Structure formats: C-alpha cells, structure tokens
Amino acid sequence: MRTTSATDPDVAGTGDAPVNGGVDAYRRRHRGRTRTVLLLLVPLVLASLWALLVGGASHGMRESWDALLAGLTGSGGTEVDLIQRIVWQLRVPRMAMAVIGGMALALAGMLMQTVLRNPLASPYTLGIASAASFGAAFAIILRSSVLTIWGNVPYDWIIVTNAFVFAFIATAVVYLLARVQRVTPETIVLLGIAMMFLFSALTALLQYLGDPDQMAELAYWMFGSLNRATWTKLAITAAVGLVGVGLASRWTWDLNALMADDDTARSAGIDVSRRRLQALALASLLTATVVSFLGPIGFIGLVAPHLGRMLVGADHRALLPTSLLLGAIVLVLADIAARTLAAPVTIPVGILTAFVGVPTLMFLMMRRTKEHW
C-alpha cells in the first residue's frame, strides 16, 4: 500500500534534503498516499449505503433500496409510503450525521494531538465533554430555572444550547488562560484536565441533587446517540464542519511544522502561539457542536488520527483527509451495529465506537512497520 523507505521524511519540513532519487521516492510515496485516501472512500461509501438499508424497521434491504431510489427520483405518488419516510427522514440524516460527526470529531482530535504534540489528546482533552455534559445536566435537572433564561425554546434545543454554551465557556477559559500565560502544550493539557475535573464535579453535584427520573435522562444523554439527528442539526454541523475542513486544509504545512517542535515552526515563519490557539479554538468549536447535538461520543477523535498516521504517516496533507474518512467510517459502522445488533432495541453508539475502533487500532498496530508518534 505504501512504501516504507527509511530515507523518506516522515514529517515534511524537518529540513532533510532529499538525496539521490529522493524526489522520485517522495513522489511515489505521495501518489501512494493519494491512492490510500481514494481507496478509503470505498469502505465509506459502502458503509454509508449499508447504513441506509438496515435498521429497526422490519423492511428488507431490497425494499429500503427501492425506497431510497424512489425518494431520489421523486416518484412514489402523492402518498409517500412509510419505508420511504423512514429512509429519507430518519436514516439519511442519521447516516449523514454519523459521517459528518465522525469527520468533525476526527478533525478535532487530529488538531488537538498535533498542536498539543500529545498522542493522548482527543477532542475532549480541554474538558469539552464534561462541560457539555454539565450543560445538559443543567438543562435536565434545573430545567425550570433554565427555561426562564431561554424563553420558549423546544425542549431538545434547551439541552443543545446549554451543552454548547458550557462547552464554549470551558474552551474560553482554557483559551484565555493560555493566552495570558506563555503557551506550552503541557500547560494547555493541564488546564484542560483541570476544567474536565471541575465540570465533572459540577455535574456530579447536580446528579446528587437531581431525582432519579432526571438522572436517568442525563445518563442516556451522556451515552451519546445518533437518535437525535435531524436535518436542521445536520445542516448546522455540516456548516461548522466545512469551515473546519477549509481552515485546517490551509494549515497543513503549519501543522506539520508544529508537530515537529516550536522552534522548527518558528524558523519556518509561523506564529506558533497564535496558530496553536486558533487550532484549539477550531477543534473546540467542532467538538462543542457535535457533542451538543449527539452527546459525548467517545473514542473516535482519539483513534481516527492514529489510524490515519499508521496508514499514511504524519504529513497533514494526507493525514487530514485520511483521518476524516476514518472517523466517518468508524462512526457509521458503530451506528449500524448500535441499530441492528439488538433491533429494535438501540445500543448507545458511544458504547460501540470503542468496540469498532479498538480492534482496528490493534490490527494496525500489529502490522505497523515504524513509529509515527
């Protein structure tokens, strides 16, 4: 799949001049990466199609396929039948949300890992999941007092806005502290962990005060679920995701340099602190959006970038699209499992992402030929 020539610079911008046919090797390698990215589109398309054809309803895959086509061609008469509604109003937004949500989490994870130069970093490193959970807990347990602030907002949007607001607050605190202080990745990680514990404690306090009914609702929220996907939420997530991918793809060289070390990046003319904070802010925005809509779905943001590095190396020009595709594939597959393993019962997808992701990670770790971290 990819060449493993030891002379290839794994990280572009390390200053190693290509020697003796190195240019050819580099080009070969780059073509290989492009091929890998294109090849990953195949499982993503297949998984997405599969996601549209199966579910908790008893209709067969053939029926679902016909309904999918009928919806595309606009046929189906005046009375649109149930399976067509199920496919187009439930499965399509759900699958698309899995694709976009998976991509957003993978991108956020990649940015965090790179700018913090920490393989354990994930979209939740800055405490966003805990902060969002606190926001949800705030909405669920202290509902009446929140209502007076938000006015007559639909119930599920109270939770969404709350989760987003608190995720944003957590990020802003870390961001501002990091700006005031001299920014080192270690400091930021530490601040993030501090925020995580603070919001976990606040959530635990609310749980302690809440009644069992509310705790049950919060517990379900904290599992993370694609049940909550709708076209509106999908549109918002897609818009944020597009901005994210757009910015990140312009930063790939900077990210490569930041991945090496701050001095290298500085010598390449990059305003290290500024770019780092920008990347963190972007990652946080992506994460906050996904988490407030779907709940804290774990593991994807951590594992997708690592899988990507194993497949294409740490050059962000290739790593970015690879991580995006892998994040989407893992979440789509996890959601298929969530909906079909015990149908019509759904298993919270946050539980299954690890079951899909860990074996993949282990398989690739067994096969890998060199360190990418």
Partner 1 sequence: MFSMFSLRRRRRPVVVTLVLGLVLAACAGAADDAATDAAASPQDEVSEDALVSDDDTNDETTDGEASAETVTVTDTAAQTLEIDLPVERVAILDSGTADVLRALGVLDRLVGNHQAVVEDSFFAEIADVPAVATHSEISFEALAEAQPDLVISSTRAHGVVTDNEILAGLDIVDLKLSLRQPELMKQEVALLGQIFQVEERAQELIDFYDRWETEIAQRLEGVTDEERPRVFVEYHAGDYATGGPGSRFYEQVVLAGGNNLSVDIDGEVQVDPEWVAEQDPDVILREVSASTLGYDVTSTDEAEQVRDEIMSRPVIDATTAVRNGAVYLVPTNIYSRPAYIIGVLYLAKWLYPDRFDDLDPDEIHREYVETFHPGIEHQGIWAYPTDRS
- Residue 280 or 349: the one with the smaller Cβ distance to partner 1 is 349
* Residue 161 within binding range of partner 1, rule CB under 8 A: no
User: Among residues 40, 44, 53, 59, which is the contact residue for partner 1, using CB under 8 A?
Assistant: 59
* Residue 210 within binding range of partner 1, rule CB under 8 A: yes
Answer whether 93's CB lies under 8 Å from 229's CB: yes
According to DSSP, residue 86 is labeled I
Q: Which stretch binds partner 1 (CB under 8 A): 42-50, 66-74, 104-112, 145-153?
A: 145-153
* Residue 208 within binding range of partner 1, rule CB under 8 A: yes
User: Among residues 143, 253, 354, 364, which is the contact residue for partner 1, using CB under 8 A?
Assistant: 143
The C-alpha atoms of residue 341 and residue 314 are separated, in whole angstroms, by: 35
By CB under 8 A, the residues from 76 to 95 that bind partner 1 are: 82, 85-86, 89-91, 93
Per the structure block, which two tokens stand in for 351? 């539980």
Taking the CB of residue 122, how many other CB atoms lie within 10 A of it? Answer: 25
- Please, what is the end-to-end C-alpha distance for the chain in angstroms? 20
The C-alpha atoms of residue 251 and residue 35 are separated, in whole angstroms, by: 22
Answer whether 9's CB lies under 8 Å from 294's CB: no
CB of 215 to partner 1, least distance (A): 7
User: Among residues 187, 227, 249, 252, which is the contact residue for partner 1, using CB under 8 A?
Assistant: 227
User: What track of x and - describes contact with partner 1 for positions 298 through 337 (by CB under 8 A)?
Assistant: ----------------------------------------
The answer for 8, left when phi > 0, alpha when psi is -120 to 50, beta otherwise, is: beta
- Residue 120 or 204: the one with the smaller Cβ distance to partner 1 is 204
Of 223, 197, 352, nearest to 296 by C-alpha is: 223
* Residue 225 within binding range of partner 1, rule CB under 8 A: yes
- Residue 218 or 314: the one with the smaller Cβ distance to partner 1 is 218
CB of 52 to partner 1, least distance (A): 12
Q: Which residues, 6+ apart, have CB-to-CB distance to 186 below 8 Å?
A: none
Per the structure block, which two tokens stand in for 183? 């920014």
Of 265, 34, 268, nearest to 26 by C-alpha is: 34
* Residue 200 within binding range of partner 1, rule CB under 8 A: no
Taking the CB of residue 337, how many other CB atoms lie within 10 A of it? Answer: 17
Number of residues engaging partner 1 in binding (CB under 8 A): 48
Write out the H or E segment, with its range, that includes residue 266: helix 262-267
CB of 340 to partner 1, least distance (A): 9
User: What track of x and - describes contact with partner 1 for positions 1 through 40 (by CB under 8 A)?
Assistant: ----------------------------------------
User: What track of x and - describes contact with partner 1 for positions 247 through 276 (by CB under 8 A)?
Assistant: ------------------------------
Whole-angstrom CA distances from 354 to 113, 229, 301, 333, 373 are 19, 21, 11, 11, 21
Q: Please give the residue ranges that form the binding site for partner 1 (CB under 8 A).
A: 55-59, 82, 85-86, 89-91, 93, 142-145, 147, 152, 154-156, 205-217, 219-220, 225, 227-228, 230-231, 339, 342-346, 348
